[in-house]
Amino acid sequence: MAIELIVLDFGSQYTQLIARRLREVGVYTEIYPYFTPTKDLLAKNPKGIILSGGPASVYDKDAYRCAPELFETNLPMLGICYGMQLLVDSFGGQVRAAHRQEFGKAHLELLEKHPLLEGVDNLSVVWMSHADRVESLPPNFKALAKSANTPFCAIAHTTKPLFGLQFHPEVVHSVQGTQILKNFALKICGCKATWDMQTFASQEIAKIKEKVGTDRILCAVSGGVDSSVVASLCYKAVGAQTEAVFVDHGLLRLGEKEQVVKMFTDLKIPLHVVDASSLFLERLRGVSEPEEKRKIIGMAFIEVFEKKAKELEKRGKIKYLAQGTLYPDVIESVSVKGPSKVIKSHHNVGGLPEKMDFVLLEPLRELFKDEVRALGAQLGLPQDMLKRHPFPGPGLAIRILGAIGYDSLELVRLADQIFIQALHDAKLYHSVWQAFCVLLNVCSVGVMGDNRTYDNTLALRAVCASDGMSAHFAPLPFEFLESVANKIINEVKGINRVVYDITSKPPGTIEWE
Ligand code: XMP
């Protein structure tokens, strides 16, 4: 499929969101690192370029800069946040540290009519996240919109197709942000809106088929949406050359293994189940540091897969390991194509050993959860599987703060079962993006009957999100929370206090570790 737009990545946590918003409006977009030579970018024949945000400051001497000749190509260009500041700095304007950093919502005051802002309401809410700001525009640039704190919210060159936005149109909090990106793509660059999930599915199946050839794939399956979609893609691409493997690492929820086995039986994809719980629990014994837990789990997974692959090699060498890595896992663990910051090592990305016997196959690496759900529907997977809440690879290990023991695993399992069942019973399960329990490793005093208790505290976590990159705590009804807390305290011996987590992401993350 021909590339319509290129996003140059300067390390923003939101770079992929830009590409994703453009996919939503049907525009096929690829991301390249900011240092990609101009001739390589031009060889892709894009109709326009977007410069992403990034954590650096343009006035630093080692600031990330693209090749200066890129600005001479006459291609339409849209700079977002750092991207706009880079544009301003490169054309002779001034960027400085802002007196006050600006994070959060602002209202866009439109200063003139312009195709970039067509269909955008005056005072529309946009989302700011910047510590630097443009002090003065370069010659021949003008402001299209301002906000209470930012005189240059949207800018344009008076004759060349160069544009800048100080806010982030790609995040959901910028209410009409997609409209602005759509205007840039369709009205200014003249892109075609021909990308859809069906095209993506057939492209990925063809890519897997071509890449794998006569080799074999070990497909790591967790029972979650992502790995099930990957298994289905692999199975559609190379059929029985796919070996789907589910590892019971001892950190699963109640009844999880049985559910996964049933799901794969229904899908008619053969599944190998490996019980490796003692290996994982032994390695994790006494380990309390979250990143260490994640790395241990990542390594143990690979070890188990390599062992299983050896066993299966009677049928032919297994060259590939397919896994359901998503974009949020990648961006928060390692920089994808640019220089973004590590937030936590997702087990399937940052937690992998440097040397592995496998070549990785990660067909969902650039997608977000809701896109994977749409892809799954396209592939014909059942709705109840597609609508399951995400369950992270490290499982309950990152929902028990501190060291993990059999007793604490048992407590979280029972409490989690009560919480999730209650959400189903109250028909609230599908109104939240993810819900789970966290054992806090904090004891507090209580009174039950006439006796003093000194037992564990459990946190209930439920969030609303669309892609997992940002999330808001779910406003579950108090009566519901009260009845769940009562049930847990009455039925799970060892828990005498239940709290509800009201932190959003950012500043928190969804999981506690
Ligand atoms: P955080 O906690 O980073 O989580 O806000 C965002 C989403 O990703 C899930 N998550 C993971 N999924 N492997 C996974 O497959 C992991 O290591 C991992 N860590 C977090 C998390 O449950 C949430 O849905």
Tokens of 198: 């069906």
Residue with tokens 């101009």: 38
The confidence score (pLDDT) of residue 100 equals: 74
Locate the ligand 1 atom nearest the alpha carbon of residue 465 and give its number.
24
Q: Determine whether 170 is an active site residue.
A: yes
* Statement: residue 512 has pLDDT above 70: yes
**Is 227 annotated for ligand binding?**
yes
DSSP letters, 336-348, are SSS-PPP----TT
**Is 224 annotated for ligand binding?**
yes
Q: Give the span between the Cα atoms of 227 and 220, in whole angstroms.
A: 7
**Is 226 annotated for ligand binding?**
yes
pLDDT digits (tens, 9 = 90+) for 381-421: 999 889 999 999 999 999 999 999 999 999 999 999 999 99
Distance between Cα 401 and ligand 1 center (Å): 15
* Statement: residue 339 has pLDDT above 80: no
* Statement: residue 130 has pLDDT above 70: yes
pLDDT digits (tens, 9 = 90+) for 57-75: 999 988 999 999 999 999 9
Q: Determine whether 81 is an active site residue.
A: yes
Locate the ligand 1 atom nearest the alpha carbon of residue 398 and give its number.
19
Pocket of ligand 1 (CB under 6 A): 328-329, 332, 344, 346-348, 390, 392-394, 434, 468, 505, 509-511
Which range of 262-271, 324-333, 334-343 scores highest in mean pLDDT? It is 262-271
Catalytic residue among 4, 66, 81, 102: 81
**Is 228 annotated for ligand binding?**
yes
Q: Determine whether 313 is an active site residue.
A: no
Distance between Cα 355 and ligand 1 center (Å): 24
- For the chain, domains (ranges, CATH) are 5-188 (3.40.50.880), 197-386 (3.40.50.620), 405-500 (3.30.300.10)
Q: Give the span between the Cα atoms of 308 and 240, in whole angstroms.
A: 16
The confidence score (pLDDT) of residue 98 equals: 83
Catalytic residue among 130, 168, 346, 347: 168
99-113, 342-356, 379-393, 419-433: least confidently modelled range:
342-356
The confidence score (pLDDT) of residue 2 equals: 84
Q: Minimal CA–CA distance to 124: which of 169, 86, 79, 156?
A: 169
Nearest CA to ligand 1 atom 7: 468
Mean model confidence pLDDT for the chain: 93
pLDDT bucket at 333, cuts 50 / 70 / 90: low
The confidence score (pLDDT) of residue 438 equals: 98
* Statement: residue 331 has pLDDT above 70: no
Nearest CA to ligand 1 atom 21: 392
> Residue 86 phi/psi, 5° resolution?
-65, -40
CB 24 within 8 A of CB 226: no
In eight-state DSSP terms, residue 183 is I
* Statement: residue 96 has pLDDT above 50: yes
* Statement: residue 352 has pLDDT above 80: no
Q: Give the span between the Cα atoms of 320 and 190, in whole angstroms.
A: 40
Q: Minimal CA–CA distance to 12: which of 63, 104, 81, 77?
A: 81
Sheet order of strands, 5-9 included: 29-33, 5-9, 48-51, 77-80, 162-165, 154-157, 141-146, 94-110, 124-136
pLDDT bucket at 332, cuts 50 / 70 / 90: low
